[in-house]
Amino acid sequence: MIFEGQSIQCRLRDKGVAEVCFDNKNESVNKFDRATLNEWRQVNELLRDHKDVKAVMATSGKPVFIVGADITEFNELFASSREELLGWLVKANEVFSGFEDLPYPTAVAIDGMALGGGLEMCLTCDFRVASPKAQVGLPESKLGLVPGFGGSVRLARIIGADNAFEWLSTGKAYKPEKALAVGVLDAVVDSEHLVDSTEQMLLDAVEGKLDWQARRAEKKAPLQLNKTEATMSFMTSKGYIASQAGPHYPAPVRGVQLIEDSAGMKLEDAIKAEHEAFADMAQTEQASSLIQLFLNDQVLKKKAKIAAKTANVDVKNATVLGAGIMGGGIAYQSASRGVPAIMKDINPEALEQGMDEAIKLFGKGLKYGKISTEKMAKGIASIKPTLSYDEIKHTDIVVEAVVENPKVKESVLKEVESLMPEDAIICSNTSTISIDRLAQSLQRPEKFCGMHFFNPVHKMPLVEIIRGEKTSDETIASVVAYASKMGKSPVVVNDCPGFFVNRVLFPYFGGFTKLVRDGADFQQVDKVMSKKFGWPMGPAYLLDVVGMDTGRHAAEVMAEGFPDRMSKDEKDAIDVMFENDRYGQKTGSGFYVYGKDKKGRTTKEADPKAYELLKEIAAESKDFSDEEIIARTMLPMIIETIRCLEEGIIDSPAEGDMALIYGLGFPPFRGGVFKYVDSQGIDTIVELAKKYQHLGKAYEPTAGMLDMAKDGKKFYQSDLS
């Protein structure tokens, strides 16, 4: 044994190949933390002058290779000065370059994921061999970063600038076939023979059959591009990537700029240029927010794992009550993840519509290569439409998804409870109706909770799991585990009108309708909130998509539940649209008018008639600054979100922020409401709220907010914690 540490072990194999095995004894996966980098530095020093070593092979003792850098360890580092950050990057890259500069051929055997820093390690090697299970990629752009361990500039020299632009800007994890085709990998071998094949490649290099020195020299040289090619490539790529990323995500464009700036440099100098680019991105608000989003997602995943261990019902088959588009979507989601679903309805047409929806979604998966024909056929066969309750006698869970009417739901829930197994769980897919109210009709309320899916089910990651007063912990754990098994991100919330997501959405709509009342142009509001603040769509367009009938009903529920903040004394823009049968996309008109283009895609245009109708409730047209539009729409949402945390409706800022991002499309680069408040400063938000307090109770900061502002506190203890 040459070296044995906590993260790395190094031994000399029989034929003179030193095997550097990444196998962290304290973690389930390998990642680059400071301890691992320190051990790798020691290994490099031992190998550099070892008289018996002929070649070096990197392997992993884990089911994955290396998942990347330990982002949690670098919180303080990212918040430190630029000089300190650059100093750390220099030291870290000395380790990567030290391995690359060993006086022997090097190769890596990749069996599993090699992402971020994991792939950057692989790029230091002369040869890269992977199994069919491998996934490789540089996802740093998804965190608002560029690679920091030489990944950008090495990748460009190995696969060419154009291919590197795609890998850097998308942040995708690529399968071995794609990686082999562009040159990231040199061979793909089955797992059983991976290490032996990699070793043989190294022995061939030692014997001169493979010119490892020429490969290394080419990687260390400037990019092989003539001036005309370089100009065309960089100019075209920058424009395209900037248009795809948008103005709020600078990292992809910075990656292209880095490769352009360093194209004529030797690798050593190009890596220094990468340090500067990394430092530029690491200390942006976007990176801070996107990294926090990543950490928050880990919180959800950890809770889901805990739930799977504590659940008392392992859901192996499910029942969806109520078909149609929503029921079909839920049944599809369950069946597509291996949990067969019965779909029950009283209406044959609804069952047909539900099956059509599920078949359509399976068909899309087949069309885009996500599933095989066999898997599609198996998935469709695992959904059983029925008009009878007979099929549910052995179900593990029932998800009720009938019409959003409390009396209808109570009747259906009561009926199905008497027919299903006593240990089975029953859930209601409701967006507004109190879980405690629905539980009153049940004999076993401890086995009942809310399971609120968002539309369209197959696209929206969030499922709100609503805990009623009598819901047991075991029931919650079982439903969280089932939602996770379905591929969703579950967030547990306590029961209240609107639960969490809708409760905080409607104050946002309230801020919008007050702006319209005061003379704002709804198109200007939509433009500011989408283009400048970053929402997928502005509030007028969103109301059209949700449906004015649905929006009005939900607003009434919110007003009844929170009359001091959400009731209204006058007709508003939603009422005007509703009373004129302008429900939005479903009727072809709302704030906008909708149609179809030649390819069948939905079109949206402004409608002069909408402006005429709004004159009934709106003041004379008035210009509002972008800042005022953002403040007046966002403050009610921000304050209500904080109130939900203070009242215990949500357990943590992390879960609240993820619910808003996954359920509403809150701009990811802002990290969610709590992260946004931290970045702006709670004192700034409080002062802004006081400025607009005359607009009503929805703008009044809570006592907790005032205390936080006074004490200078944040919701996240450090910028990235």
Nearest to 10 by CA among 515, 642, 1, 625: 1
For 17, which DSSP code?
E
Tell me how many degrees the CA angle 670-676-682 measures, rounded to the nearest 5.
165
Annotated active-site residue 275? The verdict is: no
Catalytic residue among 394, 452, 458, 694: 452
Rg of the chain in Å (alpha carbons)? 28
| Encoded tokens for 292 | 């926090």
Burial degree of 224 (CB within 10 A; 0-12, 13-18, 19+):
exposed
Spatial separation of the C-alpha atoms in residues 605 and 607, rounded to whole Å:
6
Cis ω for the linkage preceding 456 (within 30 of 0) = yes
Spatial separation of the C-alpha atoms in residues 107 and 424, rounded to whole Å:
53
Spatial separation of the C-alpha atoms in residues 377 and 362, rounded to whole Å:
9
In 3-state terms, what secondary structure has residue 23? Answer: coil
Spatial separation of the C-alpha atoms in residues 654 and 666, rounded to whole Å:
14
> In 177-286, at which residue ranges do the beta strands (DSSP E only) sit?
187-188
Residue with tokens 């009623």: 468
Q: Are 322 and 299 in contact (CB under 8 A)?
A: no
Secondary structure of 474-510 as H, E, C letters: HHHHHHHHHHHHCCCEEEEEECCCCCCHHHHHHHHHH
- Contacts of 403-409 with C-beta under 8 Å, sequence gap 24+, read 403/322, 404/430, 404/431, 404/432, 404/433, 404/553, 406/433, 406/437, 406/438, 409/433, 409/438
Q: Which residues are catalytic?
A: 452
